[in-house]
Structure 1
């Protein structure tokens, strides 16, 4: 089995799509090592694209924070803003 290992997408859909295009489908499964959301402008689209792929995904600190399961007081101010924006932006379907 060929595995495409990705991480730290941080809701950057353009970069995520570019990685998939560059990999040219020469993989059987995707392992995502966390941080699908955070910072970038496309949290819903990034989650939705990942869901279309055969994948295993671990939650990263930004993922947990966006779900309200991690205290963000230790995050830097920019990361806190990104988490709060992501919480407000994610649809209920994309928090499952």
Structure 2
């Protein structure tokens, strides 16, 4: 069954919003916390290492993986909302 064109545009518009927000969060965590604000964050210690160093080495990877799971959940909801889910 073919979906109406306006639904497809609304679907992709919402998908792009999700992508922009999630990538902005990842940018802020990886570049912001790991590079721009590392000196301030390094005053906070985790396991003997500065928080800025931790974000640069591990934190941005953890946040990226978490954002992937969030994106999957958001897209599953969006698919159901627009009728693109596999449960037909």
Q: TM-score range by the shorter chain?
A: under 0.3
Q: Which TM-score applies when normalising by structure 1?
A: 0.27
Which structure has greater helix proportion?
2
Q: Which TM-score applies when normalising by structure 2?
A: 0.28
Bigger Rg over Cα: 2
